[in-house]
Amino acid sequence: MSIQRDLDRWRAAGAITPDQCATLGALARRERFSLFIELNALLYLGVVAFVGGVGWTVQTYFSSLGDAAVLVPLTAVLAVCGWYCVSRAAPYAPGQVASPTFAFDYVLYLACLVFAVELGYVEFRFHLLKDNWDNYLLASAIACAAAAYRFDNRFVMSLALSSLAGWFGVRFSHFGLHLGVREYALAYGALVAFVGVSIARAKIKPHFLETYLHVAANALFVALLSGAMARDAGLVWLAGLLIASGVAIDRGIRFKRFAFVLYGVIYGYVGLSSRILREIDGGTSSLAYIVVSGIVVVAALVVVSRRFGREE
């Protein structure tokens, strides 16, 4: 085949890599290729869009539909999803368990989102907990965490941690602690990281640790970046941000987790640049700094990402 000969010649000349040659050759020969990532993305977006549509419908038409017309279908969807997951799930194991079907994880994710919508509607309509309404967030977090560990689903674990973040901020404000959002985020990030490491060391779903660390890292970095960019903040926040960035980059490279390298570089670059640009008198100097530093950062990330690709 002429296309394959051209590809072999380009590979020999160094114009394309062996992996690129193999991929392009397979396409030229019309061999089958995997759509696993694309199908997963479509399923995830479909679940989110469905629940978003349900939430919008409930919010817009609840007064004309009535409580029964809202709660009965939501409960039915929740019951069907729960039955599907329980009937097809493998027995619990502390290690990683493969999903029994392609759609299993997304059905479970749908069940947890519908559960959250139903809890929110119950509180909105009946005010059962009144001033303690934030306990709905805690209940949602506990239910999602239990489902995540029972059915081995990191999507649902992320949802549990997000719900916990909402409860954490509201509940601690009730204690009369006069802290800002940044302090709450720092405390939450530290708590999530500690819990994740502790559970992983107990060898209970240790592959969930990365999910905990992703959530904790973003919470910590957002808090530190917010402090570093505030005009009334001192250099302590910037110093903390740069230290955290250095740790993330170092640990990411050591444990071959490029996402954490990316967190460290991006958050650190934005925080440091915001401080530097304040000292520059704008105009050409600011534009030159943004262009030059942006090119350097992108080039560095490309080099590091290629290194990760070779090692993996």
How far is it, in rounded angstroms, from Cα 54 to Cα 110? 11
How far is it, in rounded angstroms, from Cα 71 to Cα 261? 45
Read off the pTM.
0.80
pLDDT profile of the chain (312 residues), mean per 10: 69 74 66 59 78 84 82 93 93 90 89 90 84 84 94 92 84 60 86 94 94 94 90 83 94 89 94 87 79 89 73 46
Task: Judge whether 261 and 252 are in contact, CB under 8 Å.
Answer: yes
Q: How many CB atoms lie within 10 A of CB 88?
A: 14
- The distance from CA 192 to its chain's CA centroid, rounded to whole angstroms, is 14
**Per-residue pLDDT at 130:** 78
**Per-residue pLDDT at 270:** 93
**Per-residue pLDDT at 77:** 92
How far is it, in rounded angstroms, from Cα 210 to Cα 259? 10
How far is it, in rounded angstroms, from Cα 148 to Cα 160? 8
Task: Judge whether 190 and 220 are in contact, CB under 8 Å.
Answer: yes
**Per-residue pLDDT at 281:** 66
Which residue is associated with the tokens 């560095």? 300
How far is it, in rounded angstroms, from Cα 55 to Cα 69? 14
How far is it, in rounded angstroms, from Cα 249 to Cα 21? 32
What tokens were used for 283?
A: 């105009």
**Per-residue pLDDT at 132:** 80
How far is it, in rounded angstroms, from Cα 30 to Cα 37? 19
**Per-residue pLDDT at 33:** 52
Judged on CB neighbours under 10 Å (0-12, 13-18, 19+), 15 is: exposed
Q: Which helix (H) or strand (E) holds 281?
A: none
Question: How does DSSP classify residue 102?
Answer: T
